[in-house]
A and B are shown apart, each in its own frame.
Chain A
Amino acid sequence: MKPVLKVVDLEVSYYTDAGRAKALDRVNLELNAGEKIGLVGESGSGKSTMALAMMRMIKPPGRIEHGQVIVDGNDLTSLSDEQMLKARLSQIAYIPQGAMNSLNPVTRIGAQMIDAIKAHSPNMPKDKMRARSLKALESVELKPEVFRMYAHELSGGMKQRVCIAIGILLEPKVIIADEPTSALDVVTQRQVMETINKVQAEIGAAVILIGHDMGLMAQSMDKVAVMYAGRLVEVSTVKEMFTAPKHPYSQALIRSLPKLDVRGVFQGIPGLAPSLLRLPSGCAFHPRCQEAMDKCKTLRPENQVLASGSRVTCHLYGEGA
């Protein structure tokens, strides 16, 4: 099967006063149509940066240094700015982290849906745009009245649904949801997740879900990708990840979950997250790794595919191990 999303050697840096921070370092990822992958990692590990880089929305002082993002055969990094505008939302959609403030407070929800459609199909008749917006609202289980409402009249969960509705307006191939539930209460979280699953099934898009809640990941994702200090250290199926995690960092993550029940928010592991400005040499994880060897301090591990299908970046595996 041909992958619908291919991220190749993606590299992003932020140029700050204190120096250059490599927030994304040679990240590779493949996703098939309809596949759902969860992206986990400590705060600051580069998850949002990866999402924004795929949308080509990295802003100064950040810069995409290198790499390709191929959606449905089109390399987004080679598009002109104009073409990229069109690709957003129609090819690849982003559902933002801060849904609380992601809607324009001074215009109606409907207007904010219509303008999105209009930007991509300026000649579509007005009533058709309206019908499509109403259908999207219906998909996320919102009443049609929401169309005429303002953001401040909606609850947090409703705002998040509106963002999802906007995300699916043009039936994109890839949907990235950046911690869509982190600001919501538990019940609403669950409902929003169900909504995401439902619309994903409806339009058959590939989904990247960024989040902290391993339980949610286990329940509704197909795969999990683990990010550490701007590098994807492991990509495995959910089953593989929860039963036999490969990378020592993933192992620590899984161990840190409450026992008997894989549900729960990941609590973090001992040690400090490294500063991106001064990444440890070799494997960035080595100061915290219990299995670190001598070569981990000097030699950077390469990404490799194991027999189980997992992709992992660690010296414990492969020919040297």
Chain B
Amino acid sequence: MNFRLLSKRLLFLLMVVWAASTITFFIPRISPKNPVRERFAELARTGGFSPEDLEVIVADYSQRFGLDKPLLQQYGDYMWGILRFDLGISLNKFPKTVMQLIYESLPWTIGLVFITTILSFILGNWLGALAAWPRSPDWLKNIATSFVLFQGVPPVLLGILLIFFIGFKLKLLPLGGAYSIGTVPDQSIGFFLDVLRHQLLPGIALVLGSVGGWVISMRGMGVTIQGEDYVTFAEHKGLGPRVIFRDYYLRNALLPQITGLALALGNLVTSAIVVEGIFALPGLGTMLNSAIRSNDFSVIYGIVLFITIGIATLMVIVEFLYPLLDPRIRHQ
């Protein structure tokens, strides 16, 4: 692998991380809101703080979170912290760190996002390739087209419809939650199945919501590839449709799709976060929801930063793996 390309992409990754962290650092500080005060003002409304007490507490916390230092020093500390995977301390669940909280909910989100991304990639590209293939039967094309109709519909809305029809009306699957109320998490098959039952509707919503995008881009790519001279020449050679489909059409059409995988993952994470909220599933999304509700700013910023870095990293990884699949790039 080319060393210059490698360093260029790594530099790009660093730039993305830097941009994301700088944005998450500065935007809240430009705004007139003081997160700590905000948080305690809310507590004061519900609990029994006096305004004077509030000032003392805010000062104490500000110091503890480093908010009283000069801006530039805060920025330096903050960036240094990010390099050490230190995203600060939760305002709400003090003294837990943001990273601790993320690690607790991350496996849930990763499970949901990775499985649905892979499923929708396979299903969407397969349908898209068949939809653009002139010999496909009409019913198959119609199925592909009906998935296209879901494109543009946020998975969360499909989720609401699914909850309504399958959870609420038919009572086939639970309305939400990580597992049935009353069960105790353990390692048993029964518990695993119960969790799976709860993940089914959100999973379907996410897959349905993201398949359409793949169908469209693969169909477009497929049509382009069919117009390519090498496909026409393959027909002139007298190859059967199966061979042309597999070796000439699919292989070429699929390659650019793979580069879109990381970006699609980013979109899916976004959707998953919102879907988790609607289904009250444990995970980064629900964590974000409750952080928004309780003004736990360090958690909000921490999650945003963590996901951004994760996606940028995945993008770079995909780019490094890509040459293994495409000989044109491998040989350069």
Contact = CB atoms under 8 A, between A and B. Distances in A.
Q: Do A and B interact directly, with beta carbons closer than 8 Å?
A: yes
B233 A119 contact: no
B230 A119 contact: no
B237 A57 contact: no
Interface of A is mostly: helix
A89 B236 contact: yes
A141 interface: no
Contacts of B236: 55, 57, 88-89, 93-94, 96
A90 B236 CA distance: 10
A294 interface: no
Contacts of B255: 106
B239 interface: yes
B77 interface: no
B233 A103 contact: yes
B238 A86 contact: yes
A101 interface: yes
B238 A85 contact: yes
A163 B252 CA distance: 19
Nearest to B243: A115
A314 B234 CA distance: 39
Nearest to A106: B251
A263 interface: no
A163 B236 CA distance: 11
Contact of A115 (B229, B235, B247): B247
B238 A87 contact: yes
Nearest to B332: A152
B247 A104 contact: yes
Specify which of A57, A103, A106, A152 lies most central, judged by the most chain B CB atoms within 10 Å of its CB: A106
Contact of A116 (B232, B238, B251, B331): B238
B328 A163 contact: no
A181 B236 CA distance: 19
B237 A106 contact: no
A116 B230 CA distance: 13
A86 B243 CA distance: 14
B259 to A, nearest CB: 14
Given A85-B238, A90-B238, A106-B252, A152 B327 contact: yes
B229 A98 contact: yes
A242 interface: no
B56 to A, nearest CB: 68
A101 B331 contact: no
Contacts of A152: 327-328, 331
B228 A101 contact: yes
B248 interface: yes
B240 A96 contact: no
B251 A119 contact: no
A99 B233 CA distance: 9
A104 B230 contact: yes
B55 interface: no
Nearest to B234: A104
Contact of A105 (B230, B234, B235, B239): B230
A150 B331 contact: yes
B252 A102 contact: no
Given A85-B238, A85-B240, A150-B331, A57 B251 contact: no
Interface string A105-125: 111000100011001100000
Contacts of B233: 94, 96, 102-103, 163, 166
Nearest to B228: A101
A152 B234 CA distance: 17
A153 interface: yes
Given A101-B230, A104-B247, A105-B252, A150 B328 contact: yes
B328 A105 contact: yes
A86 B240 CA distance: 9
A103 B237 CA distance: 11
Nearest to B230: A104
Given A103-B230, A104-B247, A150-B331, A116 B237 contact: yes
Specify which of A99, A100, A101 lies most central, judged by the most chain B CB atoms within 10 Å of its CB: A101
A94 B238 CA distance: 10
Nearest to A150: B327
B187 to A, nearest CB: 45
A59 to B, nearest CB: 8
A96 B238 CA distance: 14
A138 B184 CA distance: 74
B326 interface: yes
Contacts of B228: 101
A182 B214 CA distance: 38
Nearest to A104: B230
A-B CB proximity, top 9 nearest: A88-B238, A101-B229, A98-B229, A102-B233, A116-B237, A94-B236, A102-B229, A89-B238, A104-B230
Interface of A: 55, 57, 85-90, 93-94, 96-107, 111, 115-116, 119-120, 150, 152-153, 163, 166
Given A94-B236, A96-B229, A153-B331, 7 more contacts: A89-B236, A94-B233, A101-B228, A103-B233, A106-B252, A107-B247, A166-B233
10 contacts: A85-B238, A102-B229, A103-B230, A103-B233, A105-B230, A105-B327, A116-B238, A119-B239, A119-B240, A152-B327
